[in-house]
Structure 1
């Protein structure tokens, strides 16, 4: 792996810490080929752009696989380790085709020439060496799943207008599980297992698993993977039957379901050990994560020691060791092994540490709200940035984040709120935001804001609302519906005009929005208007900074322009920055530029401590 001047400037020693955290080379958790575990693939920003890298563990050799102007992060290895597959879109628009390249290097080629360009909805590569399953979605066709056998013509095995995608392919390539939302609830998937014939066609539907009861019951399922053994039809499935995510084993051929003796609070996911005798358990609770090994024969749960913080991903190696990506709010991410320490350490400048988080629990209108708080040196009350996470089905955690650390370096406290809609606090908390979209989340933000001011942490005259994606949406909605509360708003890749966004966004997100609102803008205009930032744009008092990617399929540029035009018509203080990428940028220089502009904007209106 090499670095260049974009990542390692000559004046690195004089570079401020906040910038070093963005520029310091970092790596993702390596993936390895199932039948060639010495061959790995990971993502790194070592050249100044996030790209895919191949790593031959036997020789130690690493090489850059992709090299595109706007970066590449979506890739995987074939089970035999012979090929690297990667998704090729146009400048971050997420619409494209799969390509592949030999592991040792060589020319890229379109991997599935008979499958039209579309948004990706999953990929499964069979360990039989014969079978490829690819999911796609588009406005024209809805959700599609194709099977390609022996490099032949693609066979369509699934089609529906509602969102769906590839779950997994069994070890021998005979069974395919599809996650679908045919019942119309895009937040809660059902599962269908299909048996594939010799040519890749569907020979029969083996089984269905649907906890939604036709969409009337809000229970979802997720695919965690088929057992990694020949002739083994067991499928590891995530369920919400206990009010949170827990794994169970479903055998669709035998028609059996096996519950697991896992008594842990919070959400639990799982993956197989290679011999299928145990499961690697990832446990997320109250914004932190940890790992366990679950012995299937003994029904015994054994904790795997990891530091306090967040485990962002983990995998069990063939020798039984576990590799995982760990960080905390104070400590930068590192790839570790349970047996050999640091596994993959990028060269060059190291990211400076930041400050740890403290936990705040605040009584809100829908229950206790969890917030993560970081403060700069000195005594409060501080100018305070409420940094709102995206998703909305996501959550902030005790993990390293260069953005919040930059605010802290400039004298601002940072408060991150896991509002209703966030994951990790049970199904009811995640599902609570329906129909009063955005407004419910902002009630929780308001409760935490009142606590922060009342506790002496935050200066009520110097409060900034900030966020990206769904957090950007909540920022614009918040400064319009709570105009007296905020001194500035910073919205990155936001939903700004929700009605226009719905009509322009990718098909899968339209399905999600119909689920959130209960229908389309035409069917429920009052509900959509109540949750639309554009409705309140004339009430905004705070100066506004907006950044947007011109190729963004999730928060398209036209709806951002509609909002900005209304601010301009009022001659309201605002700045807008448009850049040539999609839903965010994978280019380090671009990301540093954006953060610098956000800092400069806010410091002009709300000086730091």
Structure 2
């Protein structure tokens, strides 16, 4: 249940790489706009394309990922062909080349530090189970076109490793060494050292979830995140040598409610430097510290910034690029490690979804707001990548609303059609995760509802990130029910304030948001006029047994055990338990290859609806946890809009 955040589409919709519990994933991609024409600004036969559809079709790019020792070589993802794929970009010459070309798209990839190779993850039709492949940065012979699996110039990157779910990747500066994290039901979590021309060597194995954090600049130290203590929400850290022996441990877990998590932010980018940048929660929020793994010295960086604080190294290791998130918006700062000086890196008001410091000291970042589409910008003032073709229309700004709830003040983001007051038909668009949050960033899905006359409310319920550790960790054991309490409080505000028409309320969401949609329709049957659930958890017990092992670990953490150990908690949190209480029409869409919210548990729920004769529609598509194909996403949104139009009362 983890939602990818770096390299997929930024249309505000569920995407491949997401899970039924979503957390940001480290790793890989982004960079420039491909050459060639984008989608035409019109439909077949000359029919005009509506703005809501243009927002999906308009070419967009991710933040370019650049090779550490060859900074002119970069990798990015783009939807320019109608499917999100990876592109190589030679910044010195301006040449861009499509790297991957698969029916269901590709966004998970990275460059070796020397810039010679591109690694990308090859799964089957979005099921997230596969192998790493690689191809030369210059491509197949002649350097033209995507090599494609099995073609000349494209090869398995780690021969000898069987297909698995990915669990982190770190590439050595020598161009021939990699640390590969894997997850399977049979083996649990394993980490292998892979050297070109040699058999992979297993250096770590455990039944609980674990993954690769980083490889030191000189390749002598490997940082991993693990949950051997059994709490999949709060990782501990271990540093290994390439032979698998332990160098150092850092573990903030204390048992019970006081368990604290750690995350690897990266080794210092200097040979022989044993400093590891770490994220910690010791003061109730995410903050950075520098841990010297050789001496054990820990230096907590106390920054006078409210909210969560993350960081990454500047290329020379002298400073940190600080990413500060607070109340659904984010900004950048430069922190000088020698002087302790904190200097603002100017960015517009909105959200920075990725940032990187370049060797020349400039910073490039991917920015958007609810009103303005994403763009890759530089502190020089330039737009780094400007995709050709159709430009995405903007949308309306977001309004901040604070509502008193049973667990504290709840932050909600509201958009409404320009010039309207209310009461309006209103969509409660619930984010996935649950460890995620909605932000003041551009999202094509909510904008489509606004274009059709709806107000859109997005709720950062308990379980969301960005409001402190206590808020994020609040939902244990009463999973789903706590989130719905917060959503209900915001619903009451929306109706009493005159914004929302109580007879035209839509509950919708993707992934965990789809789960909360189905659960809400059963637990709060009088509150909602209809529900639209995208890639949802529908039958929690069956979902547990069919999902990938890492998500089983997360569910055991959230619910306190397996379905056999705590059956009453799984029953209380499962939409299937309340299906006979559902009164509203229900629309469900699901990927038949989804490893996070598997299709069998969705079918169980649908069968119960059908047996009751309940009003429902189901759309199944050939992909995993969402789609990276633009036409498919547009089709899905069109079906959702049509379902609401047919089933909401007219005014």
If the TM-score is normalised by the length of the shorter chain, which range does it land in?
over 0.9
Corresponding residue to 1:189 among 230, 235, 244: 235
Paired with 2:273 and 2:476, the residues of 1 have a C-alpha distance of 39
Shift of 1:130: 3.7
The 5 A counterparts of 1:336-415 are: 336-377=377-418, 378-415=420-457
Corresponding residue to 2:506 among 459, 464, 469: 464
Output one character per residue of 1:460-513: Cα deviation in whole Å (capped at 9) or x when no partner. Answer: 111110000000000000000000000000000000000000000000000000
Q: Is the 8 A contact 2:87 2:98 kept in 1?
A: yes
- Whether 1:162 aligns to 2:204 is no
Moved over 6 A (4+): none
Q: Normalization by structure 1: what TM-score?
A: 0.98
3-state SS of paired residue (1:143): strand
Q: Is the 8 A contact 2:39 2:390 kept in 1?
A: no
* Greater RCO, CA 8 A, separation 6+: 2
Q: Is the 8 A contact 2:412 2:490 kept in 1?
A: yes
CA RMSD of aligned residues (A): 1.3
Q: Is the 8 A contact 1:499 1:521 kept in 2?
A: yes
- Whether 1:114 aligns to 2:155 is no
1:403–1:605: structure 2 CA closer, same or farther, 3 Å change rule?
Answer: same
3-state SS of paired residue (1:473): helix
Corresponding residue to 1:325 among 366, 369, 372: 366
Paired with 1:113 and 1:121, the residues of 2 have a C-alpha distance of 17
Q: Is the 8 A contact 2:403 2:410 kept in 1?
A: yes
Aligned twin of 1:335: 376
Aligned twin of 2:137: 103
Q: Is the 8 A contact 1:6 1:589 kept in 2?
A: no
Count of residues in Structure 1 that have an aligned counterpart in Structure 2: 604
Output one character per residue of 1:375-429: Cα deviation in whole Å (capped at 9) or x when no partner. Answer: 1132201010000000110000000000000000000000000000000000000
Shift of 1:10: 4.9
3-state SS of paired residue (1:222): strand
Aligned twin of 2:589: 547
Aligned twin of 2:617: 575
Shift of 1:260: 1.2
Q: Is the 8 A contact 1:185 1:215 kept in 2?
A: no
Output one character per residue of 1:91-114: Cα deviation in whole Å (capped at 9) or x when no partner. Answer: 000000000011011121001111
Output one character per residue of 1:346-385: Cα deviation in whole Å (capped at 9) or x when no partner. Answer: 0000010100000000000000000000011322010100
Aligned twin of 2:10: none
Paired with 2:495 and 2:139, the residues of 1 have a C-alpha distance of 57
Aligned twin of 1:533: 575
Aligned twin of 1:172: 218
Output one character per residue of 1:5-51: Cα deviation in whole Å (capped at 9) or x when no partner. Answer: 58974567711100000000000000000000000000000000000
Q: Normalization by structure 2: what TM-score?
A: 0.91
Aligned twin of 1:561: 603
3-state SS of paired residue (1:432): helix
- Whether 1:210 aligns to 2:231 is no
3-state SS of paired residue (2:483): helix
Paired with 1:572 and 1:433, the residues of 2 have a C-alpha distance of 30
Range that drifts further, 354-363 or 105-114: 105-114
Shift of 1:252: 1.0
Corresponding residue to 1:234 among 264, 275, 288: 275
Aligned twin of 1:256: 297
User: Structure 2: 5+ residue runs without aligned partners?
Assistant: 1-34, 141-152
- Whether 1:131 aligns to 2:172 is no
3-state SS of paired residue (2:320): strand
1:274–1:4: structure 2 CA closer, same or farther, 3 Å change rule?
Answer: closer
Shift of 1:152: 1.0
Q: Is the 8 A contact 1:6 1:47 kept in 2?
A: no
User: Structure 1: 5+ residue runs without aligned partners?
Assistant: none
The 5 A counterparts of 1:259-270 are: 259-270=300-311
- Whether 1:54 aligns to 2:88 is yes
Q: Is the 8 A contact 2:191 2:205 kept in 1?
A: yes
Paired with 1:151 and 1:307, the residues of 2 have a C-alpha distance of 48
